[in-house]
Structure 1
Amino acid sequence: MEERELESEPEKQEEEPLSMDLSGLNEDALSMMGISKKEVADALRTWTQEHGFSSATGAQFLEPMLVRFSEEKYSMDCQLIFADGGNGIQPEDAQTKLTMDYFKEKKLLQIHK
């Protein structure tokens, strides 16, 4: 029984849906940073809810990724994606661009405008 439980656990993790759609997010970049897509999606969902963009359904990540080796900092830009209708989102809000900074040594993920 223990073997079955261990085998089924990774399947549950893979099937768990992300809290936001992350298009254009480079898997190799995530591997280099040492974080998961789920961590990025959860952090982005939290940020959007705390900053008045709760109708955002995802983010389109843009190239290139900036790496500052002296700070062990990785920076990626993304643009928020809103569901059809937008729940009152103004056109300028639909163009909201964010920057995600990840400090590898501190294991700190920051999102800002």
Structure 2
Amino acid sequence: MFEVFWDLYPKKFGKDLARAQFMKELARGIPAETIVHGARQYRASSPGKYARKAHEWLYDGAYKEPQPETPQRKPRASRRQAVSPVDVALQESGLFSSEYDQ
């Protein structure tokens, strides 16, 4: 079951340490399915290269914690749509004409 966990976990670093901690968690009575489920959730919400090392994640019992959903980014306005307050003031004063007036 460790290999299933390892395949799911987002950061591939310290496999031997992770295996040892995985076995310790099993010895403490934590079901392997709980750990694997937690790893699946963590992978879906983790910050990619900034994911925690597997053995630390296991040691801290992070598999028990609900993972926050990844926030959806709002689309950014294109440069063409962005108008600075200075441009607005100049347009209103009649000193500046731009493509925004069209």
| Same structural fold, with TM-score higher than 0.5 when normalized by the shorter chain | no
Q: Report the structure, 1 or 2, having the larger helix content.
A: 2
Q: Which category describes the TM-score, using the shorter chain as reference length?
A: 0.3 to 0.5
Higher relative contact order (CA 8 A, sep 6+): 2
The TM-score normalised by the length of structure 2 is: 0.34
Q: Report the structure, 1 or 2, having the larger strand content.
A: 1
The TM-score normalised by the length of structure 1 is: 0.31
